[in-house]
């Protein structure tokens, strides 16, 4: 079950990367270098399942993918591990949040939002990160998800297939979606 959860997170993450990449593309000058990934977590994942936290599990799996250079950061690190230097060295930030959304320092939120908007960094919001402050600020939303009928298909379209992060990814369908889905309800 743990492997399925990680695989599902990775599939969803790559879908989100493709979506985010259309809004904040990584510089074409960087396409020949590894994509620099930072896996961040607030540290509240179940330790029985993720003894080194979920960001380490993500980093372990993503680190096996050729063309990705992966590091981790945690809520408990100084500046939550999201210093300007760390963000400047990140092309895609995986953000796993669950309980501490409002405890993230506003200066860190501002730094992440600026790096996405002005620096072209991608943001992949995992688990309950639709309630994270950077996600809500970037999308001008409350983060509340609307519901979708269980068991319906979700069609994923790659809208920028020429973008380096979408290389080799084609449109696909998740035949039996069983999770809340977009659109996000209510603008903030």
pLDDT score of 45:
85
Residue 124, H or E segment: strand 122-127
What's the rounded Cα separation, in Å, for the pair 30 and 52?
30
User: Is 77:51 a contact under the CB 8 Å cutoff?
Assistant: no
Which residue from 144, 147, 148 is spatially nearest to 186, judged by alpha carbons? 144
The architecture in CATH of the region 2-185 reads 3-Layer(aba) Sandwich (3.40)
* Selected residue with higher pLDDT from 180 and 136: 136
**Is the pLDDT confidence value at 173 over 60?**
yes
Apex 181 CA angle, 63 and 26, nearest 5: 40
Q: Give the per-residue SS3 of 60-107.
A: HHHCCCCCEEEEEEECCCHHHHCCHHHHHCCCEEEEEECCCHHHCCHH
Residue 19 pLDDT greater than 60, yes or no: no
What pLDDT is recorded for position 15? 46
- Residue 47's pLDDT is 87
pLDDT value of position 27: 42
Mean pLDDT of 149-160: 76
Q: Summarize pLDDT for 88-142 with one digit per residue, the tens.
A: 999 999 998 878 878 888 999 999 999 999 999 999 988 887 778 888 888 888 7
Question: pLDDT at residue 184 above 80?
Answer: no
pTM above 0.85, yes or no: no
- pLDDT for res 52: 93
Structural domain spans, the chain: 2-185
pLDDT > 90? residue 86? yes
């Amino acid at each position: 079950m743990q492997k399925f959860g990680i695989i599902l997170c990775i599939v969803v993450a790559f879908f989100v990367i493709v979506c985010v990449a259309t809004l904040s593309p990584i510089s074409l000058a960087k396409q020949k270098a590894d994509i620099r990934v930072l896996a961040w977590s607030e540290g509240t994942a179940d330790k029985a399942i993720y003894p080194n936290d979920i960001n380490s599990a993500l980093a372990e799996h993503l680190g096996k993918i050729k063309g990705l250079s992966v590091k981790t950061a945690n809520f408990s690190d100084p500046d939550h591990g999201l210093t300007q230097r760390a963000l400047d060295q990140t092309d895609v930030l995986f953000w796993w949040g669950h309980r501490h959304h409002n405890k993230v320092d506003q200066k860190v939120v501002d730094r992440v939002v600026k790096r996405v908007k002005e620096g072209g960094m991608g943001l992949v919001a995992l688990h309950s990160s639709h309630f994270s402050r950077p996600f809500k600020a970037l999308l001008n939303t409350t983060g509340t998800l609307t519901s979708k009928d269980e068991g319906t298909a979700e069609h994923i379209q790659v809208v920028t297939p020429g973008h380096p992060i979408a290389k080799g990814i084609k449109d696909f369908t998740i035949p039996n979606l069983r999770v809340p889905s977009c659109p996000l309800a209510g603008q903030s």
